[in-house]
Chain A
Amino acid sequence: MNSAPLLSCRGLEAGYGASQVLFGLDFDIQAGEVVTLLGRNGMGKSRVLKTLIGRLPPRRGEIQFGGHAIHRARADAIARLGMAIVPEGRQCFPNLTVHEHLIAFADNRGGLGKPWTSRRLYALFPSLAARAAHSGNQLSGGEQQMLAIARALSTNPRLLILDEATEGLAPVIREEIWRCLDRLKAAGQTVLVVDKYVERLVKLADRHFILERGRLVWSGTSAELDSDRGLWSRYLGV
């Protein structure tokens, strides 16, 4: 791929207080790619995401997103540049209905192709249409997860980040989320996924990064990851 990456991190270092958590991370994500960030619990995946979205600024290093340096930017400014996260724990608003979730934050932040309108989002997640008048806290876990994804998509982001989007969901609901991600990939949406279902991620994603104690220890394509099961047991605990 020759074009400039959508997201580029160089020498990223971050930590909490005196302890350093991330050590000199270098990685790129190209527009239209589906990329995963893998690793066991506590290896720094969430810290990377928090740093990308501006929740916890890096100590050193640079982050370029869509041609903008964002390593010193505020979270809301980064979001307006087109980065949307589906957070761990869904965090739907209990005082907004499903429909309000889909129209309140609607924006066009540089996403590709046809914009995600509430109608298209209901088509993507038909079970949300039936619950349009219900509040965010009156939904099942799966429905809340779909709503969190739909809410992020309603901003028509350039980069969609999913943090443990399938955690705690029933297998059938999980599969629905994976199918949704397949459709997003087919539509050309750039996605960064953090999840632990490696077998499914190998089918979904183009490339993968493995994080071990705050360092990127491996990166490669799905075919490369699929063929090297030693990596799975060494770094992913699978």
Chain B
Amino acid sequence: MKRAPGWLARSLPWLLLLSLALFPLLAPSLDLDYYVGFIRHLLIVMMAATSLNFILGYGGMVALGHSGFVGVGAYTVVALVDGGVTSAWGAWLAAVAVAGAFAAVIGAVSLRTRGVYFLMITLAFSQMLHHLAVSLSAYGGDDGYSLHAPLLLGVGLDDAHPHVLYWVVLALAALLFTFSCRLAVSRFGYALRGIRDNETRMAALGYPIYRIKLAAFIGAGAVAGLAGALLASHNKFVSPSVMHWTESATLLVMVVIGGLGRRWGGPAGVALWLTLAEVLKLYTEYWRWPMGLLLVLIVFLAPKGVVSLFEGPRRAG
């Protein structure tokens, strides 16, 4: 596919951001109120997918337990709300810190393995977290926990207002996406890409492989925790299903169909997956059949991800 002209490629993200920012204001007149919540959900999942793409696409760490960190973030919010915390920023920051701490412990063990063993050990840890959540009867156990009281955002605003939460999520997603793009072309990002290609070579170039991978893993876990915290505010409900291994697998598939190691890979995969599911559900309750066929088609037409269809001939960005 032909590459877009430079000015268009440069202004497209800004146009997209502007359109998304204006959407809640225009939605009522277009009778699209429902889609404000849908896009908010999309943006939150995009944050989790972007963090997974960073370790999977750039770092080559095939983790099958990323939803575990999403769940840790969500349950941190639950625990704090249950304990009487009312500040949204405080709860979300705590979710980032706790998910980061879990990622540090899990990563410190898991990153001593490679390939399929790494995949299996991250899966095992996320299932442990899932079962831990199921056993937390104080927070509803298997039934989950409803967040009744809104979390306060300051200046008289709270996360119960759908538009306010939408804009907060949009701002955080935009910031995170910009940061991850910058990080990908920083020395840290280059080192991570080098490690994916050839660990031995990177060690010979003077890079401490384990520490770099662990730092990336902790960062990605912390961001997934933020996505989990926002998901808790978005749904006003958290259940252990958020960290089931199938959620990790879905996230992984989204990143793969979007484009592994491509800056737009995570957001594109999430947008495609969730939109397809949403549209197909309108027509049939057996939506997974056509969804599966479409995904097979995508894999054949764009094995490097849908984003690769819009790239120039030389290389991924």
Contact = CB atoms under 8 A, between A and B. Distances in A.
Interface in A95-127: 95-97, 100, 103-105, 107, 109
Contacts of B193: 93, 95-96
A60 interface: no
Given A95-B316, A104-B190, A76 B206 contact: yes
B208 A135 contact: no
A54 to B, nearest CB: 8
A85 interface: yes
Interface string B162-196: 00000000000000000000000101001101101
A12 interface: no
A183 interface: no
Contact of B204 (A79, A93, A95): A79
Contacts of B316: 95
A95 B261 contact: yes
A230 interface: no
Q: Could you say which interface size class chain B belongs to?
A: 20 to 34
Nearest to B193: A95
Given A93-B193, A104-B187, A138-B314, A79 B206 contact: yes
Nearest to B211: A76
Contact of A74 (B200, B203, B315): B203
A94 B208 CA distance: 20
B203 A76 contact: yes
Contacts, number: 72
Please give me the 7 A-B residue pairs with the lowest Cβ-Cβ distance, nearest first: A79-B206, A104-B190, A75-B203, A80-B206, A93-B197, A76-B203, A135-B315
A231 interface: no
Nearest to B316: A95
A68 B224 CA distance: 43
Contact of A85 (B194, B198, B204, B207): B204
A104 B194 contact: yes
A151 B261 CA distance: 22
B204 A75 contact: yes
B198 to A, nearest CB: 6
B214 to A, nearest CB: 14
17 contacts: A53-B204, A76-B205, A79-B204, A79-B206, A85-B204, A87-B204, A91-B201, A93-B197, A93-B201, A95-B261, A96-B193, A100-B185, A104-B190, A105-B190, A134-B314, A151-B205, A155-B205
Contacts of B152: none
Contact of A94 (B185, B197, B204): B197
A70 interface: no
Nearest to B185: A100
Contacts of A105: 190, 194, 205-206
B200 A55 contact: yes
B314 A104 contact: no
A238 interface: no
A98 to B, nearest CB: 11
Interface string B219-255: 0000000000000000000000000000000000000
Residue of A53, A76, A79, A109 contacting most chain B CB atoms (<10 Å):
A76
Contacts of A223: none
B120 to A, nearest CB: 26
Interface string B240-279: 0000000000000000000001000000000000000000
Contacts of A104: 187, 190-191, 194
A133 B317 CA distance: 11
B58 to A, nearest CB: 9
A84 interface: yes
Given A134-B314, A155-B206, A87 B201 contact: yes
B291 interface: no
